[in-house]
Structures are given as C-alpha cells and as structure tokens.
Amino acid sequence: MIAVTAAGILGPMMFSEPASTSVARPFAPPLWASGDAPPPLRVTLSGNETETAFEWRWDAPETITLTGDVLFSSPPASSSLELVLPDGGRVTLAGLDGARRRHIDIDGRDLDFRERLGLSPFDDAMKLLFPRNGRYRLVITGDIPPEQVEIELSAPGGAWGFLGTDQRGRDVFHLLLLGVRVSLLVGISATLLASFIGLSAGLTSGYVGGAFDSLVMRLVDLLLSIPVLPILMVIVGIWGRGLWQLVLVLGLFSWMGSARTIRSMVLSLREACYVENLRSIGAPTRYILFRHLLPEALPLLLATVTLGVPGAILAEAGLSFLGLSDPRIISWGRMLHEAHGFGAFTAGAWWLILPPGLGIALICLIFLDIGRALEEKADPRLSAGGRR
Amino acid sequence: MRSYWFRRIAGAAGVLLLVVCVNFFLFRLMPGDAVSSIVDPRFSPEAKAELRNLFGLDQPVCTQFLIYVRRMLTFDFGLSFLSQQPVWGEIKSRLPNTVALLGSAMLLSAALGTWLGVQAARRRGGRLERLVLFSGSVSFSFPSFFVQLVLLLGLAYWLPLFPLRGSVSIPPPTGALAAALDYAWHLALPAASLVMLGFGSWAIYVRNLMVKALGDDYVLAARARGLSERSIVWRHAFRTTLPPIVTIFLLSLPGVLSGAVITETVFSLHGVGKFLLDSILGHDYPAAGAAFYMLALVTVAANLAADAAYRLADPRIRLGRNGGD
C-alpha cells in the first residue's frame, strides 16, 4: 500500500515532460519486448562535416525529423542536402542554394516534402528514403563547402520505455503512475463521503428509532433497488463528467451499506447498561451519540470504509471505461477505454491493456486485505480461527 | 399475508415512481432548452408542433408529469433522436439478447458457485476450500471489463477461437440449428467472463451456508443412523440452504445488470445495456430514459420475484401462522 502510494506521488516527478506529450511512435512496444523493432536513429552533421554514414537494417521508420542550420561563407549557386541510398541512388532532402544561411525544419510527413520528392500526398515518403538494409550516407553537396553546419536527422525508435506507448505516442508507464492518483483519490473520497452519510444516518436512525428509523430504512431500501451503474451513467451523462461530480454521485449511492451496519450496531448497543445510566442522569441525546456510541462504532466503520474503497474504485473505473469521465484526466479506466476504442486490439498492444487492469485489481486486493484485517480486529467472530 | 404483499407492491411502485421522476426531472433540469430534450431540434416545425401537443409541453408541469407517467406505463417511449424510430421497437429488438446473456450468466455462475461451495464445505480446511476463498476475493477485485478485454485479446485475437464482436455473424447463417450455434458461439465469451467473475462470491456464500447447515444436530443424528454422505449433504443439508440461495439469486440481478452494460459494450452485443450507453453518449434523451426505465423495471420485478420465491421455498414461512409448526 505504501509502495503504491509512493509510486503514485513520487513517480510522475521522475519524468521531465508532462504525460500528454508524445514521445515515440504510437503503439510502440516496450523495450524489453520489442523483438526486431528499430532503435531510435540519430545522425548529426556538425562543425564543417559534409558527410556522415549510418547502418540501417530494419523496416523503414514511421517518420523522420530533419532539423538544423547551414551557414555558408557566401550564397552557393547549387547545393543540397542529400541521402545516399545503399544502392547508390541519391534523394534530395533539402535544397541549400541561393541563401547564405539556411534553416531546415522538415518532418517526413510534410506535404511539401513529399511533393518535392515527387510523391503524391498519399504516398509514404519513408519507403522511398529507406528502401532496403544497408549503409546510408547523409551528405551535403554543392559548389562551395559550408562553413558551419548543425544538422540532425532523427527517427523515433520502434520500441520505447518500460511499458511502451499508447495510440497517441504517450509513455504508458508514465500514464500508469499518474492513474494511481486518480484511483486512490476517487476511491477514498467517495467512500469517506458515503461513510459520513451512512454514519450519521445509521447512528441517528438506530438510536432514535420509531418513525424516523422506518423512514430512513425505507429510503435505504429504495436506493438499493435502483440499478447502480445505469443511474450513475444517466446522471454523469447528463450533468457532466467532472471528477468531483463523480465522487459526489458515487458517495450518494454507496452509503446504504455502512448505514445498515452502523444501525444494527447501535440497536444492540442502545440496550447496554451504561447507555441507560447515561440517560437516567439526563445526558442529552447528542452527547450520548457523539461521546459514547461514535467511538464504539469507529473500528467497524473503519473496516467498512476500507472494504468500500474497492467498490468505489471499480465503479469509477467502470464509468471511465464506458467513456463517462473527464477526458483530460488520466485514470486507469480511461486508459482501458482508449485501448478498447482506439485500436489497441488490432495493433496487438497488450502493454496498453494488461497494466491498467492489473493495477486496479492490485489496489482493490490491497484494500480488501487491509479491510478484512481491520474487520477481524473489530469483530472477532468473523476471523477464520475464531478463538473467542 | 395480504398486507405484506400490499406493502411490497407499494414499495416496488415507489421505486418505479422514483425512476420516472428521475427521468422526468433530470432530463428537464439540464442546461439549455428543456424542450429540446424531448423534441429533436432537427425536426420540422410541423412535427415539433405535433410533438408539443402530444407531450403537452405547453401545459403546466404537473399535467406534463401525469402524461409522462401514463406513457411510461404503456411503454410509449416516443421517437429516438438518433434513429428516428420508435424507441420501444429498438428496445424490443435488444431485450432478448440482454435476457439471454443475463440468464445464461446467472444460471451458470450460480450452478458452478453452488457446487463448488458445497464441495468446499464438505472438505473443510482442504485445498478446495482455500482455493474457493481465495478466488472469491480475487474475482471481486478484478474489474469486469479488464477480464473481458483480456479474454478478447487472448481468445479472439491471438488465438482466433471466438468472434471479436457482435451478437450474430454478418451475414447470419441459414438454418435454425446453425443460427442457434452461431448465436451461442457469439455469446460464449461474454457469458464465460461473467461466470468467471461471479462464481467466486457464490461459492463463498454457499460454503458459509453449508458449513452452518452441516454443523446442525440433525446432521450428526443422520450420520449416526448411517445415511450416505451424499444423501446427507444434498438431500438434507442443501435443502435448508435453498431459500437464501434462491433469494440471493434473484437479488443478484441488479448487480449482473450493471455488469451486463459493461459486457455488452466490450463485446459489442446488441443489447439494452449498450443501447443505454449509446443513447447517453449520443444525447438521445428519450431512448436513454426508456432504457433506464426498462432496466429499473427488470430490477424491481426481480426483487418482487425474490420475495415470492423465498416465501414459496421455505415451508416454514409459507405454512407459518396458518398451519404446520
């Protein structure tokens, strides 16, 4: 539990960029499962180099990025930056003539780049640039050699990181760590809200009894009869998808369980001797409730809260999976929603599907474990050994 | 007896009334023109006028509410925004699929869970019991859609054993038997996933009941008399656990219903749950209200049936004050 919380809070600090930036190509597999995906390519020309070479033994990359500056002593009549293919063919990547100082900023998917290569807007320039395995050279040709060169040709690798990337190229591991926060936040706050309502309702209705008690119990029965997920869907779908709205709605529909438990406990405690004594010396109801019954109820309440958190987490994950959560907030349910809706299946991207789900299950199991241990302490009859 | 039923039915009617109120007020309290939640803004002015009349939108709210209640009771849900077809027709075409999914999943998980629970109770402290207790808590923690996504990935994508989506293949096969088999093939993964998720809690619950039942004195007496173990377990102890089992079976319907919404979305089945989701996401308010109402109706019916079944199954309650002892 501590490890998970620490991971959730400290983990994202390890990353230098925000989670939304794309770092590699979409659906890149993790580094340790990448098979024969190409590594990242980074070829530079600096100083006054005019030629450099690199080996390429893989499929063509998704795209290339060519950036840099070239400075000539005087404007060249004809000069260009070319890629020499293994079979000797030459492809002009950028023209450098006519200006003394040239800035290059080309993405392999640019339309004018494809036009310059003589391709239609629908052709893939990469197939033209990387037709086969072999030795490629990046050269600057022309009548005058350049004075100062700072050029970089890069291509993102086929694999990335600890858990790969999603359909937008975002690092899945980073997203996973950010999701911890949302799950814990929503789960705990919704359950706290529900327990607060349930505690008040259970204490008062159990102690006061009579018409108020049957009214509250009627309300509990009513709310229990409504199918939970559909009404959550309707409310969230109509009233908006904010995080706190979700917490509010989840809390409003989960208080019934703790109310019933507290109420039955109060009913049994009400007849205890000390309560009768308190009443006979004139203690007000509120005093009895807060100073005496509440502390008795707390251990059981703690156990109920801890056991209720998995329910809230699962409900939030379910609603996010259906698409009814804030799209700007990264949660594990949302990751699974995007995996389901944006093609993780056809890409075979198991690293998008397994980690969030396993994470949800892990957190739920942790809370169930803690909750059951607390419950055993609070109510010794339930423990498996049953020593009393 | 009669007063009991009167109270139960009044309670059920109360729930339905609450659902209808939620439908009515929620959709009207939305930001923007409340009327556009009923009358599609893209309709022609004549159609709008006609619908205004039909729904009584120019009349006071109370009259509108009564009209709405009457329409709900007669299943007149109006036209869907997205498909321009009567919503009732859409729901009718989807209802059998949802019922098939829910029915098969509930029956299978109850059967499997019950059998496992009984076996676990018979051999206390054994491996099976520990396995049952463990898998019960584990199956509760895994989100249902995750298990289903993993099943899809494993059994429909990597090993193409099952279809990736849909309730029937397109085009559907000819012949009744082939069509039935095809339908079952499409239903197999969704139902299997619901069973996998559900049998755990069943097994734990039945195991607890059976442990208590097998600890009763009459079981000891039966053993002393020499009855076979099998007869003791199934014919005597298990019978006493039937009333709560039947009750819980029917009461588990609302939970399975929520699971069905997710299941239908993951596997793209043609059911009411997915219809609810699609209408909510598509802002198709008549359809969303109608689907929600149908789901609540099913829930209420299940609760009432659970009550009736419980009283029928337990002769002590049935004969109760009038006869027997």
- SS3 per residue for chain A: CHHHHHHHHHHHHHCCCCCCCCCCCCCCCCHHHCCCCCCCEEEEEEECCCEEEEEECCCCCCCCEEEEEEECCCCCCCEEEEEECCCCCEEEEEECCCCCEEEEEEECCCHHHHHHCCCCCCCCHHHHHCCCCEEEEEEEEECCCCCEEEEEEEECCCCCCCCCECCCCCEHHHHHHHHHHHHHHHHHHHHHHHHHHHHHHHHHHHHHCHHHHHHHHHHHHHHHHCCHHHHHHHHHHHHCCCHHHHHHHHHHCCHHHHHHHHHHHHHHHHCCHHHHHHHHCCCCHHHHHHHHHHHHHHHHHHHHHHHHHHHHHHHHHHHHHCCCCCCCCCCHHHHHHHHHHCCCCCCCCHHHHHHHHHHHHHHHHHHHHHHHHHHHHHCHHHCCCCCC
Residues of chain A with CATH 2.60.120: 44-155
Task: Please answer yes or no on whether A364 and B157 come within 8 Å at the CB atom.
Answer: no
Q: What is the pLDDT of residue A382?
A: 45
From first CA to last CA, the distance across chain B in angstroms is 17
- Cβ neighbours, 10 Å, residue B41: 9
Specify if B264 maps to a domain. yes
Q: Which of B203, B283, B210, B199 minimizes the C-alpha distance to B240?
A: B210
- Would you call B84 helix, strand, or coil by DSSP? coil
> Do B133 and B200 fall within a single domain?
yes
**pLDDT level of residue B55 (50, 70, 90 thresholds):** low
Nearest to B15 among A225, A364, A365 (CB): A225
Q: Evaluate if residue A312 carries a pLDDT over 60.
A: yes
Q: Which of A344, A365, A326 minimizes the C-alpha distance to A164?
A: A344
In angstroms, the Cα distances linking B116 to A4, A369, B147, B193 are 34, 23, 21, 17
Q: Evaluate if residue A311 carries a pLDDT over 50.
A: yes
Task: Please answer yes or no on whether B143 and A361 come within 8 Å at the CB atom.
Answer: yes
Give chain A positions within 8 Å (CB) of B291.
Answer: 230
Quick one: average pLDDT of A372-385?
60
Specify if B82 maps to a domain. no
> How far apart are the CA of B188 and the nearest CA of chain A, in angstroms?
19
Q: What is the pLDDT of residue A271?
A: 75
Specify if B78 maps to a domain. no
Q: What is the pLDDT of residue A383?
A: 40
Q: What is the pLDDT of residues B225-269, one digit of tens each?
A: 887 777 777 777 777 787 788 878 877 787 788 888 888 888 888
Q: What is the pLDDT of residue A210?
A: 79
Contacting B residues, span 160-199, partner chain A, CB-CB under 8 Å = 164
Domain boundary among B20, B39, B73: B73
User: Phi and psi at residue A66, in whole multiples of 5°?
Assistant: -120, 115
Q: Evaluate if residue B222 carries a pLDDT over 70.
A: yes
Specify if B252 maps to a domain. yes
Specify if B149 maps to a domain. yes
Task: Please answer yes or no on whether B26 and A365 come within 8 Å at the CB atom.
Answer: no
Tokens found for residue B213: 């039942």
Q: Rounded distance, CA B201 to CA A260, Å?
A: 21
> Do B28 and B155 fall within a single domain?
no
Task: Please answer yes or no on whether B19 and A226 come within 8 Å at the CB atom.
Answer: yes
Q: What is the pLDDT of residues A62-83, one digit of tens each?
A: 778 888 888 888 888 888 888 8
Q: Evaluate if residue A364 carries a pLDDT over 60.
A: yes
Task: Please answer yes or no on whether A222 and B295 come within 8 Å at the CB atom.
Answer: no
Q: Rounded distance, CA A206 to CA A199, Å?
A: 10
Which of the residues B141, B155, B208, B266 would you substitute to probe the A interface, choosing the one with the greatest number of A C-beta atoms within 10 Å?
B141
Nearest to A345 among B12, B145, B157 (CB): B157
Identity of the highest mean pLDDT range in A93-97, A343-347, B233-237: A93-97
- Between B214 and A150, the more confident residue is A150
Domain boundary among B42, B73, B104: B73
User: Phi and psi at residue A27, in whole multiples of 5°?
Assistant: 55, 40
Interface size A-B, in CB pairs within 8 Å, comes to 134
Q: What is the pLDDT of residues B266-325, one digit of tens each?
A: 888 888 888 888 888 777 777 777 888 888 888 788 777 777 777 776 666 655 444 444
Quick one: average pLDDT of A179-185?
82
Give the lowest-confidence range in A136-145, B60-69, B104-113, B187-196. B60-69
Q: What is the pLDDT of residues B5-37, one digit of tens each?
A: 777 777 778 777 777 777 777 766 655 544 555
Q: What is the pLDDT of residues B145-194, one digit of tens each?
A: 888 888 877 777 777 777 777 767 677 777 778 778 888 888 888 888 88
Q: What is the pLDDT of residue B325?
A: 40
Contacting B residues, span 215-254, partner chain A, CB-CB under 8 Å = 254
Q: A172-386 in CATH: which number?
A: 1.10.3720.10
Share of chain A above pLDDT 70, in %: 85
> Do B116 and B175 fall within a single domain?
yes
Give chain A positions within 8 Å (CB) of B277.
Answer: 233, 322-323
User: pTM for the complete prediction?
Assistant: 0.74
**pLDDT level of residue A289 (50, 70, 90 thresholds):** low
Q: What is the pLDDT of residue B324?
A: 40
In angstroms, the Cα distances linking A72 to A46, A51, A100, A220 are 13, 16, 5, 81
Residues A46/A150, Cβ–Cβ less than 8 Å: yes
Which of the residues B27, B146, B147, B153 would you substitute to probe the A interface, choosing the one with the greatest number of A C-beta atoms within 10 Å?
B146
Residue B157, chain A, CB below 8 Å: the answer is yes
> How far apart are the CA of A370 and the nearest CA of chain B, in angstroms?
13
> Do B66 and B117 fall within a single domain?
no
Quick one: average pLDDT of A184-199?
87
> Do B155 and B261 fall within a single domain?
yes
- Cβ neighbours, 10 Å, residue A211: 8
Q: Rounded distance, CA B267 to CA B269, Å?
A: 6
Residues A109/A64, Cβ–Cβ less than 8 Å: no
Nearest to B141 among A229, A339, A368 (CB): A368
> Do B246 and B177 fall within a single domain?
yes
Q: Is domain A44-155 given the CATH code 2.60.120 in the classification?
A: yes
Sheet harboring A41-47: ordered strands across? A41-47, A148-155, A65-71, A101-107
Instruction: Compute the residue count for chain B.
Output: 325
Range(s) of the domain holding residue B64: 2-73
> Do B65 and B148 fall within a single domain?
no
Quick one: average pLDDT of A170-199?
84
Which of the residues A215, A228, A238 would you substitute to probe the B interface, choosing the one with the greatest number of B C-beta atoms within 10 Å?
A238
Looking at the structure of chain B, the number of domains it has is 2
Q: What is the pLDDT of residue A21?
A: 55
Residues of chain A with CATH 1.10.3720.10: 172-386
